[in-house]
Amino acid sequence: MEEDYIKLIFGLKLKQKRTERNLSLFGLSKLSGLSKSYLNEIEKGKKYPKPDKIAILSEKLDVPYDQMVSLKLDKNLAPIGEILQSKILKEIPLELFGIKESNLIDIVANAPAKVNAFISTIIEIAQNYNFSRESFYLASVRSFQEANNNYFDEIEQSVVSFAKAYQIDLTKPITSHELEEILIEEFGYTMNQTELDKHQELDNLRSVYVPNTKTLLLASRMDEAQKTFIYAKELAYNYLEFKERLYTFSWIKFENFDQVLNNFYASYFAGALILPKASISEKLHKLFAKKVFDETLFLDIIKSFNASPESFYQRLTNILPKEFNIQNLFFLRFTHRAGTERFHLKKELHLSHQHSPHANESNEHYCRRWVSLKVLKEISNTQKEHIFNMQISNYPSDDMRYLVLSSATKDPFKEGHFRSIALGLLIDKQLLRKLAFLEHANIQQLDVGVTCERCNIKDCQVRQAPAIRLEHKAKNKQIALVVEDLMKKFS
């Protein structure tokens, strides 16, 4: 048994026996002659008393010594033992959210059966949806991003310091060549752009880092922007001195939570380096001041950086909340294979609250009126390099409106596959103040739903399935009304 586990079990048993006798910590202190602070440390699982102290507590609480030191828990505390032995608390990155394990255990101890049932329910749901350990870690990081409005000033300042130290001009587009030079000269990297292509199994990977020889294996199909981003991430791992890191891009698996968090920080650093905050903010101010949305200017802003549209949209989720106080937004990434009607939501981020649209795990059909799905259909039909569109999406069920900008591009690593990214901004007073073009008639407005199965839009020309969820809800409501009438009739 782990020492910490033994301490926790004893502390929980002591607290249980004390409360069963309606004793406060002060009362037990007077009864036993042991200090209140010492007893408090025991109950919180921080200290384990010596045998003579256990004997005193056993005598004063009228509990056999063997029962006090036994690791066997009675039925009231048994659920806590299950949680502690499962080590689930070790899996949860509590420190990320400023929570101490002892505080959580204290909450569990006050209502063990109910809390255990709640945690068991969460685990069961996760298992039913094939929610892996990696998925749990990623969800934790996403919640961490949302809690911080997806802006991390320490990383932003690290980028500025890095640029100064290595004489990188943040007012000009950064090239892969200048970042590669730093990796080789400063950090001893060796680049290999032929080995990955020899292994068909690795055709989805863009890079593999071999730490023993500091060799970076690169896929030859990458474009300049992708290569620059990978180099920027490698620089982040080295400059920020992260020991726990991932060695492949895209990731295959995570060994621990630090790898997940450091992967996020490294990606954030790369985005902040390639897409400097000051430069983007200046360009956005000019765009937002226009009375009519200037699509050409928007696309020119994207092209002015050595970055993919996806990196640009993700960077906006850092800058808009900080520099423009636009905090109600969402980011989505969809994937689609040409010739099919399936669209997969692979990445999402919601700031301030859970916005529509959002991921649905019930195998339902996402609303085809979303602009992010429209651009995917268009690019799969036209085979163009980049498709952009925007619309104002009205969600009648939520009584909310969003300005949604979306871009679609080809997936360079999968033939016939495409990706779209979408940035949705909640239309409120703040957004109306910041975007002069927002109410201009040239922006298409459309009523949308979340999924076809939950949508009440009549005569939708692109509906993929009937609104069975709404029909089921309406039927249950009707049943409830009839039962209510019967209750009144026969009362």
207-210 β-sheet, strand order = 190-192, 215-218, 207-210, 248-249
* Cα 212–chain centre separation: 31
Q: Which residue has the higher pLDDT, 413 or 187?
A: 187
Average pLDDT, the chain: 86
CA-nearest of 355, 246, 225 to 302 is: 225
Q: Which residue has the higher pLDDT, 98 or 323?
A: 323
pLDDT at 322 over 50: yes
Q: Could you tell me the pLDDT band of residue 1, with boundaries at 50, 70 and 90?
A: very low
Q: What is the pLDDT of residue 390?
A: 95
What is Dmax (Cα atoms) for the chain? 88
Measured distance CA(314)–CA(305) in Å, rounded? 14
Q: How far is CA 33 from CA 26, 28, 53, 69, 434, in A?
A: 10, 8, 10, 20, 66
Q: Which residue has the higher pLDDT, 134 or 485?
A: 485
The residue-averaged pLDDT of 199-212 equals 90
Q: What are the tens digits of pLDDT across the range 71-96?
A: 877 766 666 666 666 555 666 666 66
Query: Which range has the worst mean pLDDT, 114-123, 375-384, 399-408, 465-474?
Result: 114-123
pLDDT at 380 over 60: yes
Q: What are the tens digits of pLDDT across the range 34-65?
A: 999 999 999 888 899 999 999 999 999 988 89
Please state whether 210 falls in left (phi above 0), alpha (psi between -120 and 50) or beta: beta
Please state whether 459 falls in left (phi above 0), alpha (psi between -120 and 50) or beta: left
Are 317 and 349 in contact, with CB atoms under 8 Å apart? yes
Q: Could you tell me the pLDDT band of residue 184, with boundaries at 50, 70 and 90?
A: very high
Amino acid occupying residue 146? E
Query: Which range has the worst mean pLDDT, 25-29, 381-385, 397-401?
Result: 397-401
Q: Could you tell me the pLDDT band of residue 475, with boundaries at 50, 70 and 90?
A: confident
Pairing of strands 215-218, 190-192: parallel
Q: How far is CA 404 from CA 156, 335, 356, 357, in A?
A: 27, 17, 11, 11
Secondary structure letter of residue 18 according to DSSP: H
* Cα 354–chain centre separation: 12
pLDDT at 361 over 60: no
pTM above 0.85, yes or no: no
Q: Could you tell me the pLDDT band of residue 12, with boundaries at 50, 70 and 90?
A: confident
